[in-house]
Amino acid sequence: MSTPPRQKRFTPADITALKGKRPIVSLTAYTTPIARLLDPHCDLLLVGDSLGMVLYGLDSTVSVTMEMMIAHGQAVLRGVSQACVIMDMPFGSYQESKEQAFRNAARIMKETGCDGIKLEGGTEMAETVAFLTERGVPVLGHVGLMPQQVNTSGGYRSKGHSEAEATKIRHDAKAIGDAGAFALVIEGTVEPLARAISGELACPTIGIGASPACDGQILVSDDMLGLFNQFKPRFVKHYAELAGTISQAAEDYAREVRERSFPGPEHTFQPRKT
């Protein structure tokens, strides 16, 4: 069934208002063509710092820069007419102080036209989230597995298995919600904990490797499309298998070039008849 067109772009306030009404549909986007394809079907598109790994082949998101994020944010905004667009703040652009966070968030919003920013962190970032929201910067929070902290958190592993870890994630979620975040991403967190947090918070939760009880879901679009076949995280579902399709298309193209069956006459320009 096709998604009915909307008359205007979703805003962060619209996303908040969806809690308790219907699930929030979110995906990542990094380029104009993909944004155009995803836009009609999504409430929220995230220009994630996951682009460092997805597009640039980096080992983690830590090396992503402001310039990289802004360039891809501008590209995505050119392809969007309906979805709310949120951009990740890269590692090192907001942790130093709330003032640094505001300067960089304001730059991102001015130079891209996005609707808000996302940052990782719990109780230690609550003051920053409040500072930003009080100054007109909508914030999407992010707790649980936080990729920017991979070097200090023991790698990419699910969170909330111990009582102490679960208690910390719960406190983190409440602190960010109370600080004014319009929504909260819960990543890589044991299902019962993510379910409980979703029921406790006034703002909507968006899960990735969390719980079907979250108020919405998000996946990296390249994972969802099956563009990576080397490793499939437990929480990913492939809705297509494009890696094989692209590889086969390249193989067919290479064969036709080598046997000189492409380009054919229909692909070339002939002299005009006079």
Instruction: Please give the pLDDT value at position 4.
Output: 52
Structural element, H or E, at residue 251: helix 242-258
- How far is it, in rounded angstroms, from Cα 227 to Cα 223? 6
Where in the sequence is the domain holding 16, given as residue range(s)?
12-242
Residue 6 maps to a domain: no
Instruction: Please give the pLDDT value at position 63.
Output: 95
- How far is it, in rounded angstroms, from Cα 192 to Cα 211? 7
Catalytic annotation present for 124 = no
Instruction: Please give the pLDDT value at position 2.
Output: 56
Q: How many CB atoms lie within 10 A of CB 102?
A: 18
C-beta of residue 27 within 8 angstroms of C-beta of residue 46: yes
Out of 67, 111, 163, 187, pick the active-site residue. 187
CATH of the domain at 152: 3.20.20.60
Residue 270 maps to a domain: no
Residue 260 maps to a domain: no
Structural element, H or E, at residue 176: helix 163-178
Instruction: Please give the pLDDT value at position 273.
Output: 85
Instruction: Please give the pLDDT value at position 154.
Output: 66
| Total tally of structural domains belonging to the chain | 1
Residue 93 maps to a domain: yes
SS3 label, residue 235: coil
Binding residues for 3-methyl-2-oxobutanoate: 49-50, 88, 118
Instruction: Please give the pLDDT value at position 147.
Output: 87
Predicted TM-score (pTM) of this structure:
0.93
* Closest by CA position to 178, among listed 132, 137, 216, 130: 130
C-beta of residue 184 within 8 angstroms of C-beta of residue 142: yes
Q: Per residue, what are the HEC states of 76-132?
A: HHHCCCCCEEEEECCCCCCCCCHHHHHHHHHHHHHHHCCCEEECCECHHHHHHHHHH
Instruction: Please give the pLDDT value at position 177.
Output: 98
Residue 5 maps to a domain: no
Structural element, H or E, at residue 256: helix 242-258
Which residue carries 């492939």 as its tokens?
238
CA distances from 246 to 3, 210, 243, 252, 253 (A): 27, 31, 5, 10, 11
Phi, psi for residue 260 in degrees, rounded to 5: 60, 30
Residue 255 maps to a domain: no
Instruction: Please give the pLDDT value at position 5.
Output: 54
Residue 272 maps to a domain: no
C-beta of residue 148 within 8 angstroms of C-beta of residue 196: no
Per-residue pLDDT of the chain (274 residues; tens, 9 = 90+): 455 555 589 999 999 999 999 999 999 999 999 999 999 999 999 999 999 999 999 999 999 999 999 999 999 999 999 999 999 999 999 999 999 999 999 999 999 999 999 999 999 999 999 999 999 999 999 999 998 887 766 667 888 899 999 999 999 999 999 999 999 999 999 999 999 999 999 999 999 999 999 999 999 999 999 998 666 777 889 999 999 999 999 999 999 999 999 999 999 999 988 7
Residue 253 maps to a domain: no
